[in-house]
Amino acid sequence: MKLWQKQEYNVNQAIEKFTVGKDREMDLMLAEHDVIGSIAHAKMLETINLLTKDELQQLTSGLLEILHDVKHDNFIIEDGIEDVHSQVELLLTKRLGDVGKKVHSGRSRNDQVLLDLKLFIRSQIKQTVEATKSLFDTLIELSNKHKDVLMPGYTHYQIAMPSSFGLWFGAYAESLVDDLVTMQAAFTIANKNPLGSAAGYGSSFPLNRTMTTEFLGFDVMNYNVVYAQMGRGKTEKIVAQAMANIGATLGKMSQDICLFINQNFGFISFPDELTTGSSIMPHKKNPDVFELIRAKANKLTALPNEIALITGNLSCGYHRDMQLIKESFMPAFKDLNDCIDIANYAIAHIKVEENILNDTKYKYLFSVEAVNQLVLEGASFRDAYKTVGGQIQNNTFEPNAINAQYTHEGSIGNLCNEHIVAEMNAVLASFNFNKIDNAIEKLISLL
C-alpha cells in the first residue's frame, strides 16, 4: 500500500511502472540524506511535543540502523515501494510498530525530496570542489615547472604571438578559480533548508524550522514555503550551470590537448599506457581520454537547458514533471568528478616538447616584438607596423635578433601564479564545508 493510499486497492501496473520510472534507482543515491533529514525532523518533533522522549529514542535508534545499512550497501527499495521516503518509513513501521508512522508528522514527501536533494547536492559539490582543487594544484605545478618553455599562440587557428606552457597550464588553473566562484554561488543557493515547507504551504503544527536548519548545518532556510517548492528544479538548474562551467574548462583543455598531441603540432605527448591504439594502424596513439572528456563536457553544457525546458512552463507548486530532472542531474556529478579525476591523472604525466619554436614556420611569431622594438627606438606604432609588414611581404624579416621581453602581470615573464593560488584559496574558504560536517556529526553523535 502506498503512503498516499486511503484504502486498499491495486494500482494499475502500467500506471505504476510509468510514473515511478527510474525513481527507485535515483533514490538509492538519496537514502543516506533521507535518513539524516528524518533524524533532524524527529528531534524537532520531540521539542514541540509531537513525540515523547521514548518515541524519539526508538525512532532515532531505528533510523541509525537504517543509516548503517545504507552505508554498508545493505539498503534496497523493495518492489512495490515508490521511493526512498516510503521505504524508510516502511522499515521503521515494521521494526517499531506504530511509532514508525509518527515520523512523517509535519512534512510531505515534497519537502522530504527537496531536503534530500539539497543534502545530496551539498555532499556532491564538496567532492567536486576537492577534485577541482587537486587538478588546479597539478596545473599550477606544471605551469611553474614549464614557465620558460615557449610555444606558439594562435588566433583564428593561425600562428599569432609567443606563448609558453607556463601560460597555457596557468590559464586553465585560473579558469577553474572562476568556475568555483560560480559553484560557490550555486552552493549558497543549495545550502538553504526547505524542511517544514511540507507540500509547499507549510503546516498547522508549530514546527521549529530554525532548529532543523541548525541541526543540518544549513546557513539559512528557504523562508517562504511556496518559494521553497519553487526551488525544485531551479536549484538543480543553477548547480548544473556551475557544473557546466567546470565542464567547459575541461572540454576546452581537452580540445587543446587533442590538437597539441597531433603529429602536425607535436607539442606534447603522453606515455603509451595513457593512450589507445588502432586495430588496423599500428602507429596510432589516440587521446581517447581527452576526447571522452570533451564529449562529456558537452553533455554537461546541455544539462541546464534540459532542466530549464522541463520546468520552464510550470506554475508554482509541485508537479510530477520535476521527477525527471533526477535522471539527468544526479548522475551528472559522477560524470563530472570522473572527468576531473582522470584529467588530473593523465595531465600529471604529460611530456612537453621544449624546442618547438626552432621550426622556421614559427618565425613570424616574433613580428610584434619587431614592431615594438622599432617603437622603443622612436618610431610610431603605425609606421613600425608597416615597416615590419613590408619585411614579411618581401621575405626579409629576420626574427633571430629579436629579444622578446614580457614583464607585465600575467605575461610570459610574470605568470602571477601566486595571486591565482591566493584567489583559489579564498574561494575554497568561502564554502565552509567544516560547518556542515560538524553539524551532521553532532546530530548523529548526540543520538
pLDDT in tens, 189-206: 999 999 999 999 999 999
Task: Specify the fold of 110-204+221-357.
Answer: Fumarase C; Chain A, domain 2 (1.20.200)
Check: CB of residue 333 under 8 Å from CB of residue 340.
Answer: no
Picking from 15-24, 54-63, 65-74, 320-329, which range would have the lowest pLDDT averaged per residue? Answer: 15-24
CA distance 183 to 132: 11
CA distance 21 to 165: 49
Tell me: pLDDT of 6 over 60: no
CA distance 210 to 212: 6
Task: Specify the fold of 13-105.
Answer: Fumarase C; Chain B, domain 1 (1.10.275)
Report which of 244, 187, 253 is spatially closest to residue 220, judged by C-alpha positions.
187
Tell me: pLDDT of 102 over 60: yes
Name the residue with cell 518533533: 45
- Chain centroid to Cα 254, Å, comes to 17
pLDDT at residue number 403: 61
pLDDT at residue number 285: 82
Residues 407-425 have a mean pLDDT of: 95
Which carries the bigger pLDDT value, residue 17 or residue 337?
A: 337
Tell me: pLDDT of 31 over 90: yes
The sign of the dihedral angle between the CA atoms of 411, 414, 419, 421 is positive
Tell me: pLDDT of 284 over 50: yes
Residues 438-445 have a mean pLDDT of: 93
CA distance 307 to 322: 9
Picking from 13-22, 303-312, 334-343, 378-387, which range would have the lowest pLDDT averaged per residue? Answer: 13-22
Report which of 149, 141, 339 is spatially closest to residue 260, judged by C-alpha positions.
149
The angle at the Cα of 151, spanning 146 to 156, to the nearest 5 degrees, equals 135
Average pLDDT over the chain reads 92
Q: Which residues contact 294 (CB under 8 A, 6 or more apart)?
A: 250, 251, 254, 255, 258
Please state the domain extents for the chain: 13-105, 110-204+221-357
3-state secondary structure of 279: coil
Which carries the bigger pLDDT value, residue 285 or residue 54?
A: 54
The sign of the dihedral angle between the CA atoms of 270, 271, 272, 276 is negative
CA distance 398 to 403: 12
Tell me: pLDDT of 401 over 70: no
CA distance 349 to 269: 9
The yes-or-no answer to whether 13-105 and 110-204+221-357 have a common fold is no
Which carries the bigger pLDDT value, residue 274 or residue 292?
A: 292
Tell me: pLDDT of 352 over 50: yes
pTM attached to this predicted model: 0.92
To the nearest whole percent, how much of the chain has pLDDT over 70? 93
Name the residue with cell 606558439: 152
Check: CB of residue 388 under 8 Å from CB of residue 367.
Answer: yes
Check: CB of residue 297 under 8 Å from CB of residue 384.
Answer: no
| Cα separations in angstroms, 291 against 29, 129, 271, 276, 432 | 28, 23, 17, 11, 34
Q: Please list the residues that pair with 151 across neighbouring strands.
A: 163
pLDDT at residue number 220: 97
